Every structure is written in structure tokens, then in C-alpha cells.
Structure 1
Amino acid sequence: MARPTTPNAEKRAADKAQLAEAPVSLRRIGRLFAPHRARLLLVVALIVASSTIALAQPFLVKHVIDVAIPQQDVGLLLTCVALMVGIAVATSALGVVQSWQSTMIGQRVMHRLRSDLFGHLQRQSVGFFTRTRGGEIQSRVVNDIGSMQSVVTSTATSIASNLTTVVGTVIAMVALSWQLALITLVVLPPAVLLTRKVARLRYAVTAARQAKLADLHVQVEEGLSISGVQLTKTLGAAPTLARRFEQTSADLVDLEVRSQLAGRWLMATMNIVFAAVPAALYLAAGLPATSGGMTIGTLVAFVALQSALFRPLMGLLGVQADVTASLALFSRIFEYQDLPVEIDDPADPVRLGAVRGEVRFDHVDFGYGDATVLHDIDLTVPAGGSLALVGETGSGKTTLASLVARLHDPTAGAVRVDGVDVRDLTLDDLAAAVGVVTQETYLLHATVKDNLLHAKPDATDAEIEAAARAARIHDVIAALPQGYDTMVGSRGHRFSGGEKQRLAIARTLLRNPRILVLDEATSALDNGTERDVQAALDELAEGRTTITIAHRLSTVRNADQIAVLAHGRVVELGTHEELLLRGGRYADLVRSGLETVAA
């Protein structure tokens, strides 16, 4: 029977798989910490100093027991006691400074990684975000980088601290009594390994218990919710669910018992270790053959050293899993940092100067992978002119329009603005020339003013108000409790669909682009709201080159040109009247209801 995997085992396996798929160069990690060499050296020095100073404590105890108390040497006693307190104060102070410095290093490295990764992902194409889960991106930017704090403040420092403590303690033990040191080094390792084995067993049982508890919660939620009960009753599945629940509950009983016993075994093993090693030392100190004239102070000091050796030694034994987990985090971050930027600024960009606004699709092809979406599109929109794109769902309208803003690059041909291939322009210059309004308006969880300033950070209050008035949204904003300083709420829930669209139009007006792409900007609105938004769009489009993905006949009929797309090709081109007279696909769309077909 296969052994059930535990979450911890799965995590270790996932970390190893991540490193196998994307190996991490230690030199690359080292470069992240290179600017902080001085602080790193200080942290190491503090760790060594703290561990070394702490080792003096048992020697002071030896002097107190062997000399100061038997000889009633008050001066020596006071000196040793003062030094004991001083050591406690010094190690505590050094620990605070070490935590402060290591946290500073970790936070600055995280800040640099986080900022660089965010900037790099911002440069990725829309295709990357289409094929990647949003939660995965957020997890790497926030959770993975946040977890890397432990690489400095926990993993790295604990390795250095534990290693220093173990080496220093062993040296001190040998200096005190090589005979007792030999006994400790023989007895302690098997005891430590036994404790570690029992701890792993307990973790495995506890993890299995938690997984079974999760199953139980799922069964309760699915079986006793209103929807679950209705489904169970209509399918007659109640007996099956009850049997499954009973089996899960019975499994949980067994795991609970094993978990409690494993916990007791762990405690029992640790108690045996803590008792057996000192007992062996006391035995060795009491036997004439092994005592070698050992003093009581030496024995007490040695037992104190031996007790301090156990935990750092356990920490070092578990360091492999910590290092693997840390490297896996770096691997996940570097994997995203190494993503190629598919759409980037050209090496030698062309400057447009004053934008007239002519747009030309010069025999454009585009495809996703092996699937070709657009075929040989050859269209020209004169500066200040308008083009409407209509066609059935999947005909390529949105894809064609997105090429103007360079959300994608054509696989053949070119999209040109004023005769210049958009791939030869900087992304900032292109964004300044092309404005996009879509049907899905995205508003930030910020004030109305901040949402508008997102388009033009240096806009004045007068410019903001003028844009809002032109978009027919100023009166709505002015009636809000705090006017332009009112929070729009998550995704703009305070506003209706039409109001959000007009806010988006105002935002675009602030940028004052010469070319507009209107991607079904009124498709989700009722007729009354659509008229208000359309009036704002007409204001926005005045004097600009406009490419509209049409949704309603009222929008289509006023365009200078209407391009009918089917299966990624332009099958008809002309004005509303010309296309109706031809009696072709456009006429069919109008007859069948352009509003429903073109969407």
C-alpha cells in the first residue's frame, strides 16, 4: 500500500521540482546582497560575538562553585555574578542589534526585488496576463518575496548562529573536560537523531489529521448546505454521503489517537535525551576510572554547556529543508524576472512630433500560436476620420483594434501611425497618441480625482473639471458627499455602468490623444444611459481619428467607413448607405439586428 503523502512532503517535493526546473545560481543571489556587504559582515560579527560571550557563562559558574563559594571569596563572587548579569545584558543587546541589521538587509533586498519584479511584469504583454492566473502573479510578487525575509532574518542567521554555537560549545567542552566531551559526543548524536525521527513522525501524523479534518469540513459544507441538501434529495444520495462521512470520521478518530501518541512519544523522547545525557555525565564524573579528579564546578559547567548544545544541533540537522525552501523562493522570483519582454521599446525609436492621427493597417496578419485570427487586413483611416468595425463574435474586431495601442504585435504586416510602424515608437509616445475606452471600465480604489489623475498626474483642477464636463459626468461628481475627493469604492461600485463609462471618457479626455479606440464602450448600457454616454463619446471623438468596435446601429451609421469582418478578414468596406445598397453581409446584420449580432 502506498504511503500517503503529507503537505510537508508535498512542499519539499514541490521545492525540489521548482529548483530542478529553474536552477538558482548562488552567485546571482550573492549579487542581491552585494550592496549590503558591510551590514552582512556586521551581522556575522554580532552573531559570533554573542555566541562567544554566552560561552563564558558556564566558566563563571565553575569559578563560583569551585573557588568563590568554598573559599568565601566575596570579591570573586561579586565579580562573577556581575559578569553573569553583564553577559546576559550584552547578549540581549547584541541580539537586538543583530535582528535590526538583518531585518534591514532583508527588507531592502525585498524592496529591490519587489520593485524590479513589478516593473518587469508591467512590461509584459497582455498575452502573458491572459495565460497566467492572477493569483499566481500576486503570490510571487507578495507572498514569495515576503517569505524571503526569513532567508536573512531566520534561515541564514540561524545557520550562522547555530553553527557558531555548536563549534564554540564543543571547543569549550573539550577545554573543560575532554573525557566528558568524549562521552557527550558518543551519546548525544544518536539521541538527537532519535528525537528528530519522532518529530518527523508526529508532523506526518498531524498533517494527515489536518487533511482529514479538511475533508470533513468539505463534506459538511457540501452535504448540509441548502444547495447540497436539494441535490442529495433529488438524487437519492443521502445514504452514500452518510457512509462517506462516517468513514471519514472513523479515519479521523484513528489519526487523532496517533497524533496524541506521537506527541507524547516526542515529549518522552526529548525528556529521555535531556535526562540520559546528563546522567551519563554524572556517572562518568562519579566513577574513579573516569572522573580524573573532576571538580563539581567543572561538572555543573559542563552539563550547562551540553544542554545548550542540543537545540542548535537540531537546528543544523534540519537546515537542508530550510535552504531548499529558500532557494525555491528565489527560483520562483528569478523565473518571472527572466521572462522575455515580448512588446518593448525599440532600440532606436522614431519620434512622431505633432501627431496627425492617420492609422493604416498594412496587410496585417495576427495569430495566437498556430491559430491565425486576422488575415491580410489592409485598411486606412485618414487623420480625423472614423472607422467602425462590425462582425459576429470571434470575427477579430477587438484583436484588430488592440493592435493600434500595441497590446499585441502583428505576426505579419504593420500597423502605422502617420506612416510610422508603431513598433518603431516608444510605448510612452504611442500611449500619448492612442487612447482606449472599453466596455469594462476599470476604476482604482481611490478618489474620483485620483482616478482621473491616473491618466495625467500633473493635470490641474481646472483641466480635471473641464474633462469631466465634456464627458457629461461633472454634475454627478459635484453631487457626491466629497465631490472629486469621494472614494469610488472597489472597482467603482459607487457608480452605475454609464457613470463609470463617462468617468473613463473623462480620464481619456485628460490625456487628449489624437487617436481613439472605442471597444464596445456602450454595449452593457440601457438605451437611456447609452444616449448620455454616446453624447460624451461624440464630444471625445470630435476632431480625432476614431476606430469604433460597433455595437449599435446608431453608432455604426455615422462612421466615415464601416469594415465588416468575418473569420478575420475584411469582407465588406464602405459607408452605411453603400453597404446597405450592396445587400451583402452588412445588410444581413442590419436586418437580423446589429445590436445582437455585432456584440
Structure 2
Amino acid sequence: MQDASRAREEAAKAPRIPDFGRRIRELFQPYRGRLALTIGLVLVTAALTVLPPLLTQEAFDQGLFPRGGPNLPRLAEVVGGMVLIWVVSQVLGVGQTYLTATIGNGVTASLRERLFTRLEQMELGFFTRTRTGVIQSRLANDVGGVANVLSNTVSSVVGNTVTVIAAFVAMFLLSWQLALIAIVLLPMLALVQRSVGQRRARIATATQESLSELSAITQEALSVSGILLAKSFTRQRQETERYTAESTRQLQLQVRQEMTGQGFFATVQIFLLIVPALVYLASGLLLSNGAAITAGTIVAFTTVQARLTWPLMGLLRVALDLQTSSALFARIFEYLDLKPAITDAPDAVPVPTGSALGGVEFDRVGFAYPATPGQDPTPILTDVSFTVRPGASVALVGPSGAGKTTVGYLVPRLYEATAGVVRFAGVDVKQLQQESLLGAIGIVSQETYLFHATIRDNLKYAKPDATDDEVRAAAEGANLHDTIAKFPDGYDTVVGERGYRLSGGEKQRIAIARVLLKNPPVVILDEATSALDSVSERVVQEALDAASAGRTTIAIAHRLSTIVDSDEILVVDAGRIVERGTHAELVRLGGLYTTLWSEQSADQAAEESFAEA
């Protein structure tokens, strides 16, 4: 019952690729010149490899055993011809190997780059619903899995096909009766091969999905955050068990994939190995009936037939590999065919300059996450309207999950509004070029991402051509320069994986310095101090004040003490703006903001009292 269920599951995952042949040909299109040269070399090499067996017949019948005794001059000519053919074949083989390696690795690199480019184009929502390890597996395991097929398929198919055809022609020229014996079962082998290939393709799909899961587990468990979490809750053994379970499944799938078809190939080899014996038997029967078959013919025929074994096996294996790799190509093409949900309109324009630059307007905006199968869309925002003048500051406050961050992410189109209009500099953001829009906005989020690189490199990510003076000015503006100066390597200090060698406040100030270096007209601060202690908060808040000076600022705040000086405060609850005004106006109103302010004021007083004690 379990095996039947597993078979149905694998059958449901069998890959189907529309226009598979056309899409594979398109991958090789940039290399068509080299490909033509490779095919030419393969044709010549394959044709040359069939000549030595024919020369073998000549060596036997005209050189070693002619009437009247051995003919040494003729034998020397034939042997010389055989040696020359093998030398030329090997020289051509070296050139062929270079070309196939260049083409195959070029196509693989192009495929990987196209896949990475497409992923970079995807909207933020794609990455929030897809595990990082799964994405990494598509780039590494899936593309790596087809690399060998891309490198060797063309030369193998062409070379082995020509060799097999030439061998059959030579066999029929030598003896059509013996040739029929050698090929009688080949059509049946081809049918069996197709069935085996379909089974391996289904197993390959499950294998790649298991590899994706292994990559996801590795990425989650062995990241700095994952290790810290596992150690904090003493879950190392459970994480190891989770990885071991998937690794065991991967092992079983790999073994099944390797073993599927081994019986078929064993049968093929048995057939090809017993053919010479059948040829000897058939030759005896033909000779006893007066057929004109010489010893040279029999030796040459069996030599040709022996040389047929590996090319024929090669063709069958390539056909099997192509069917198996179709599972990998299906997964790769699935990602290549992804359509970004957020794209530039055909008539999109750059962000306009002028007095309106920095102005933001929400006009009855709504947002809902896309519906999952069988469920309705999840509404997050409803009828949100407000205006931020250029250079003004607006704060969004409210309970967790109210939709504050979503409001902020709608401005740079990290998410797309599903109702109403979001305007930037007086223009609907859907009519602005995304690169121009994002270039005009700086974002400081609660969780700062730093690369495993130097502080200088992390700062210059905002402006790669920035001078050292510009980098230092940005660091000084973020209250960071003096801290950096205390490190032994200064700006060349490596921050470690995700910046774990730095404190939370130091990481946040690097994020702020990056925004200062970028120098955008609009800054979005997404709870940039909520995870910091009071001392770090004060330092970071000073840096945030510097980043906000002279810029339009949208601050998403958890700690209300950081936004009391905002020009306007919007209180968001359940996806709606329920209150708006200055800090003083909202406190007097006696609504949700007053409640939040009272709670936080009491908590802060308790903290200060505890600190004094």
C-alpha cells in the first residue's frame, strides 16, 4: 500500500515541459558556430573509428594470409594506415573535448545567470513565501545536475549515432546475413529503455525536491541565527535528526535512481557480449552451406560488432539521462518562467524632480495578500488615506500586526496596493520606473542585514563609487565613526556573518550610514530602534534624526518616545487609520494612542526605577 502511494506521488510529479526541444536548442543558440565545428569534428572522428576494422579484414586477407604467402609490403601499408587513423582520431578528440567543455560550461553558466537574474526581478512577496534553501537548491543542485548533460549530450549523441550507423553499414558490407543476427533485438531494447527513462525521471523529481529540502534545512539550521536558536533551546539533537531523516530519504532516492535501469543495461550488455558467439555459430552454418565467408571477414565483423557495444550503450545512456534530466530542466524552467507580480508599466517614467519630490500620498489604499487555493485573500489594509508633504515627518503607530510596515512597503512598491492609489512626487507609483522609485527612497529596517565583509564594503553597498571622505562623512552622521576608529582594523574590520561581530546598535548605525551615503529624498524607518536597549536607542535615535533632517520621513514606530516630534502621527489598528494628529493632540484625544502612551510611559518609569535601584 505504501509503495503504491509512493508510486502515485512520483507519477503526479512527473515533469512536463512544453516545447522542451525548442527551449534546449535556444540554450545553445549563442554557441551555434562552435557547435557546428564540434559536430564536424565528431562526424570525422566517428567515421575514422570505423575504418580500422575494415583495414583489419584487408590485413588478414591481403597481408597475412593471401594466396602465395604473406604480402609484407601490403601489410605495412595497412598497418601504417591504421596507426595514422588512430593518431588523427586522438588529435581531433582533444579539440572536440575542448569545444564541448567550452559550450557545455558556457550554457550552464548562462542558465545559472538567467535564473539568478529572474529571481532578482521577483517581488518581495515571492521570497517571503519561499524558503531560501529551496531557491539556493534550484541554482546549485538543479543547474549543476544538468551541467554534464549540457556538456556531453551533443557530442555523445552525434558521435555515437555516426559510429553506430557506420558500424551497421560496415557490418552489412561485410555480411548482410551476420548483420541481421546482430540487430534483431535492438528495437525491443529501445522500447524497454523508454519505460526505464520515464521511471527514472519521476524518481529524479523526488530526488531534487529532497535536495531542496536538505538545502533549506542546512540554510536554516547552520546560519548564525539558526545555531543560536538551537543552542538556546537545546534543540541540536532534534535538528540533527531532522537533517538525518531527510539525508536518509535522499540516500534512498539516489540508490533507487542508480538502480533503476541497471537490469536493463545488464541485459543489453549480455546481448552484445553473446553476439560474437552467435556470429561464429552462424558463420559455421553459412560455411557449411557453401557461403563465401573468409577468416578476415569474420574477424573484421566481430571487431566492428565489438566496437558497436560502447557507442550503442552510450546512446541508450544519453537517452536515459535526457529523460532523467527532464525533471531538473522542468524545475529550472519553472523558475525561468516566473512572472514578477510587480513590473514597470510600458509607459513608466522616472521620478520627477522639483518641489513635489519627496511628497507621498495614500488615496483610499487597500492591500490584501494573494489568495491561496481554496481560501479568500487576506485583507491587511482598508481605505488608508494620508498625505506627507516634502520634507515633513509622519509616524505610523499601533498594535503589532496592525499593518504599519505594509503601509511603509507600499511606497517603494515592495508590495503592490490592491485598491486605491499610492502617489510619489505627485505620480502614481505604478507609473514610475521601479529603479528610479527605489533610488529615491532609503529604508532602515528593524533587522539590519550586513554582508560577511568589511565595514567599508557594507557602507559602500549604497554607493559603490563613494570616496573614503564620503564614507567617513556618512559614518560621522550616523554617530559611527568614533566607534569604528576603536576597532584595530578600523573601516577594514570584517563584521562576520550577518554582522554578528557587532552589537545591535552598531549594526543599526551602519544601516543608517548607508542611507546617509545614498542620500535619498525620502526615508522609511521601520521600527529601527525597537530591539535596542535604552542607551543604544538614544545613540541610534540621534543618528536617525541626522538621517531624517531635510528629508521626507515615514517612521514606523513601536516606541512612541521616538516619534513625539513628528509633524503628524497616524494610529493604525486592524488595517485602518483610526486616529491622526500631533502627539499633544492625540494624548488629549483619549483614544488608542493615549492608551499606548500611558502603557509605555508606565513601563519606562518602571525601567528607570529598576535601573536606579
Question: TM class by shorter-chain length?
Answer: 0.7 to 0.9
Which of 30, 33, 36 is residue 28 of structure 2 equivalent to? 33
Who is 1:304 aligned against? 303
Output the CA distance in 1 between the equivalents of 2:272 and 2:333.
44
Q: 1:156 Cα deviation (Å)?
A: 3.3
CA distances 1:359-381 after superposition (whole Å, capped 9, x unpaired): 22222111113222111111122
- Any idea what SS the aligned residue of 1:55 has? helix
Who is 1:352 aligned against? 352
Q: 1:318 Cα deviation (Å)?
A: 4.8
TM-score with structure 2 setting the length: 0.80
Q: Is the 8 A contact 2:350 2:436 kept in 1?
A: no
Output the CA distance in 2 between the equivalents of 1:494 and 1:282.
77
Q: 1:586 Cα deviation (Å)?
A: 0.8
TM-score with structure 1 setting the length: 0.81
Output the CA distance in 1 between the equivalents of 2:12 and 2:158.
26
CA distances 1:184-213 after superposition (whole Å, capped 9, x unpaired): 2236777x689979999xx99x99xx9xxx
Who is 2:507 aligned against? 500
Who is 2:51 aligned against? 56
Instruction: Identify the range of structure 1 (60-69 vs 401-410) with the bigger mean alpha-carbon deviation.
Output: 60-69
CA distances 1:63-95 after superposition (whole Å, capped 9, x unpaired): 222232334433333333333333222222222
Output the CA distance in 2 between the equivalents of 1:196 and 1:346.
49
Letter in 1 for 2:300: A
Instruction: Identify the range of structure 1 (424-433 vs 43-52) with the bigger mean alpha-carbon deviation.
Output: 424-433
Distance change (3 Å), C-alpha of 1:296 and 1:160: same
Letter in 2 for 1:35: P
Output the CA distance in 2 between the equivalents of 1:395 and 1:187.
72
Distance change (3 Å), C-alpha of 1:317 and 1:51: same
Q: Is the 8 A contact 1:195 1:269 kept in 2?
A: no
1:364 aligns with 2:365: yes
Who is 1:234 aligned against? none
Instruction: Identify the range of structure 1 (318-327 vs 132-141) with the bigger mean alpha-carbon deviation.
Output: 318-327
Q: 1:4 Cα deviation (Å)?
A: 6.0
Who is 2:415 aligned against? 408
Q: Is the 8 A contact 1:552 1:595 kept in 2?
A: no
Q: Is the 8 A contact 1:284 1:290 kept in 2?
A: no
Output the CA distance in 2 between the equivalents of 1:56 and 1:381.
83
Who is 1:121 aligned against? 119
Q: Is the 8 A contact 1:455 1:508 kept in 2?
A: yes
Which of 164, 167, 170 is residue 169 of structure 1 equivalent to? 167
CA distances 1:260-301 after superposition (whole Å, capped 9, x unpaired): 9x98x8998677545532112122223433572322222111
Q: 1:594 Cα deviation (Å)?
A: 7.2
Q: Is the 8 A contact 2:569 2:581 kept in 1?
A: yes
Distance change (3 Å), C-alpha of 1:144 and 1:193: closer
Which of 562, 567, 574 is residue 567 of structure 1 equivalent to? 574
Distance change (3 Å), C-alpha of 1:431 and 1:176: same
Distance change (3 Å), C-alpha of 1:461 and 1:197: closer
Who is 1:295 aligned against? 294
Who is 2:442 aligned against? 435
1:210-249 superposed matches below 5 A: none
Q: Is the 8 A contact 1:196 1:314 kept in 2?
A: no
Distance change (3 Å), C-alpha of 1:564 and 1:291: farther
**Matched-pair identity in %:** 46
Distance change (3 Å), C-alpha of 1:119 and 1:2: closer
Who is 1:158 aligned against? 156
Q: Is the 8 A contact 2:100 2:152 kept in 1?
A: no
Q: Is the 8 A contact 2:105 2:151 kept in 1?
A: no
CA distances 1:574-594 after superposition (whole Å, capped 9, x unpaired): 122211112111111122237
Output the CA distance in 1 between the equivalents of 2:98 and 2:486.
50
Output the CA distance in 1 between the equivalents of 2:178 and 2:129.
64
Letter in 2 for 1:438: S
Distance change (3 Å), C-alpha of 1:396 and 1:596: farther
Output the CA distance in 2 between the equivalents of 1:492 and 1:439.
14
Output the CA distance in 1 between the equivalents of 2:388 and 2:409.
15
Q: Is the 8 A contact 2:367 2:380 kept in 1?
A: yes
Output the CA distance in 2 between the equivalents of 1:130 and 1:466.
35
1:67 aligns with 2:62: yes
Distance change (3 Å), C-alpha of 1:320 and 1:64: closer
Q: Is the 8 A contact 1:553 1:595 kept in 2?
A: no
Q: 1:512 Cα deviation (Å)?
A: 0.4
Who is 2:324 aligned against? 325
Q: Is the 8 A contact 2:454 2:495 kept in 1?
A: yes
Letter in 1 for 2:334: E
Distance change (3 Å), C-alpha of 1:227 and 1:383: closer
Who is 1:222 aligned against? none
Output the CA distance in 2 between the equivalents of 1:268 and 1:566.
70
Output the CA distance in 2 between the equivalents of 1:356 and 1:412.
24
Letter in 2 for 1:353: T
Who is 1:478 aligned against? 485
Which of 515, 521, 525 is residue 518 of structure 1 equivalent to? 525
Unaligned ranges ≥5, structure 1: 211-225, 232-247
Letter in 2 for 1:410: A
Output the CA distance in 1 between the equivalents of 2:37 and 2:265.
38
Output the CA distance in 1 between the equivalents of 2:416 and 2:236.
51
Q: Is the 8 A contact 2:443 2:526 kept in 1?
A: yes
Output the CA distance in 1 between the equivalents of 2:121 and 2:196.
47
Output the CA distance in 1 between the equivalents of 2:590 and 2:511.
37
- Any idea what SS the aligned residue of 1:593 has? helix
CA distances 1:208-243 after superposition (whole Å, capped 9, x unpaired): xx9xxxxxxxxxxxxxxx989999xxxxxxxxxxxx
Q: Is the 8 A contact 2:423 2:429 kept in 1?
A: yes
Who is 2:589 aligned against? 582
Distance change (3 Å), C-alpha of 1:270 and 1:149: closer
- Any idea what SS the aligned residue of 2:184 has? helix
CA distances 1:47-66 after superposition (whole Å, capped 9, x unpaired): 21111100011122222222
RMSD value, Cα: 3.7
Distance change (3 Å), C-alpha of 1:270 and 1:115: closer
- Any idea what SS the aligned residue of 1:406 has? coil
Q: Is the 8 A contact 1:180 1:281 kept in 2?
A: yes
1:18 aligns with 2:20: no
1:88 aligns with 2:86: yes
Instruction: Identify the range of structure 1 (575-584 vs 282-291) with the bigger mean alpha-carbon deviation.
Output: 282-291
Output the CA distance in 1 between the equivalents of 2:75 and 2:341.
74
- Any idea what SS the aligned residue of 2:412 has? coil
Distance change (3 Å), C-alpha of 1:563 and 1:334: same
Letter in 2 for 1:552: R
Distance change (3 Å), C-alpha of 1:187 and 1:418: closer
Distance change (3 Å), C-alpha of 1:74 and 1:459: same
Instruction: Identify the range of structure 1 (327-336 vs 365-374) with the bigger mean alpha-carbon deviation.
Output: 327-336
Q: 1:403 Cα deviation (Å)?
A: 1.1
Q: 1:172 Cα deviation (Å)?
A: 0.5
Who is 1:593 aligned against? 600
1:341 aligns with 2:340: yes
Q: Is the 8 A contact 2:410 2:416 kept in 1?
A: yes
Who is 1:281 aligned against? 279
Aligned residues: 546
Letter in 1 for 2:367: F
Q: Is the 8 A contact 1:18 1:328 kept in 2?
A: yes
Letter in 1 for 2:61: D
Letter in 2 for 1:47: V
CA distances 1:303-338 after superposition (whole Å, capped 9, x unpaired): 111112223333434554433334444443333333
Who is 2:227 aligned against? none
Letter in 2 for 1:306: Q
Q: Is the 8 A contact 1:518 1:549 kept in 2?
A: yes
Letter in 2 for 1:368: Y
